[in-house]
Amino acid sequence: MSPARDLDGRVVLVTGASRGIGLATARAVADAGGTPVLVARDEDRLRKAAAEVGPSAVALPADVSDSGSVTRLLDAVDTRLGRLDAVVNNAAVAWPHRVEDVTDAQLAAEVGTNLVGPLLVIRAALPLLRRSGGGTIVNVSTESVRDPFPFLALYAATKAGLEVLTEGLARELRGEPVRVCLLVAGRTGGGGFTAHWPADVRREAEAAWDAQGYRARTSGTVAQPPERVAEAVLLMITQPPGSVVDHVSVRAHTGSLLPP
């Protein structure tokens, strides 16, 4: 997969774009000649990320779990850019916790960001995608759906729901020029996904993972660079009309790509 794939000014909306996979995807879109629309809640961090990507980047702060915020986001895309060619639903949050201990705030945030958020974005984006002649929706999931980690069961459940939503949406849109794709990512470094985790709960969760062998399976002990996942996104959104790469799994191969 080459970063030289040509997007020729096409507009690509990327959620969770202030760091990690989202930021790497925005860079890849810009490098391929597209216009990346970076979306995240933290406005300061988002604008810094857009500045890193370059002059083609557009920063639009939004909370994907809030219907009104998503509506304003897509209205802004329409007003400022006049088109939308692809959506990458990448935003996700999680906390380590036992199912019985999840707080109302954590439950609302994880379900709202990881499952409701993509649905709201898709609902608001579809009219713009159709008006642009079609496009691609990429929903980013995790390989832990197939091997749920203890203390991260809710996170895996929300992503499992996203995968079902992706398949059902693809069937609904069959016959339309809007492609619906699922990207399953293995452990990926550089995103700060665990930065907000409380140290004591994290230690308890990691002890459970090690005791049950979760981090020794698949790519659990090796992190891939986010640029590797961004290359897969680019592959999906640059397919010619009439073709679709609708399911890709990207994870580190045996060996060390980044320190664990």
User: DSSP 3-state assignment of 86?
Assistant: strand
pLDDT tens-place string over residues 52-86: 999 999 999 999 999 999 999 999 999 999 999 99
Cβ proximity of 50 and 57 under 8 Å? yes
Q: Which pLDDT belongs to residue 194?
A: 64
Question: What is the full DSSP assignment across 134-162?
Answer: -EEEEEEEEGGGSSPPTT-HHHHHHHHHH
Q: Which pLDDT belongs to residue 68?
A: 98
Q: Which pLDDT belongs to residue 193?
A: 67
Alpha carbons 57 and 29: distance in angstroms, whole number: 9
Domains, the chain, ordered by start: 11-250 (3.40.50.720)
Alpha carbons 207 and 151: distance in angstroms, whole number: 11
- The DSSP 8-state label assigned to residue 93 in this structure reads -
Task: Supply the residues annotated as catalytic.
Answer: 155
Q: Which pLDDT belongs to residue 217?
A: 62
In terms of Cα–Cα distance, which of 180, 146, 170, 181 is closest to 160? 146
Q: Which pLDDT belongs to residue 258?
A: 45
pTM listed for this prediction: 0.90
Q: How many CB atoms lie within 10 A of CB 140?
A: 30
What is the rounded end-to-end Cα distance, in angstroms, of the chain? 25
User: Could you give the angle at the alpha carbon of 105 between the alpha carbons of 87 and 60, nearest 5°?
Assistant: 30
Q: Which pLDDT belongs to residue 213?
A: 76
Reading the chain (260 residues) residue by residue, the pLDDT tens digits are 344 468 999 999 999 999 999 999 999 999 999 999 999 999 999 999 999 999 999 999 999 999 999 999 999 999 999 999 999 999 999 989 989 999 999 999 999 999 999 999 999 999 999 999 999 999 999 998 988 888 889 999 999 999 999 999 999 999 999 999 999 998 888 766 666 777 877 787 777 778 777 766 654 557 899 999 999 999 999 999 889 999 999 988 765 444 43
Cβ proximity of 188 and 224 under 8 Å? yes
Alpha carbons 101 and 50: distance in angstroms, whole number: 37
User: DSSP 3-state assignment of 4?
Assistant: coil
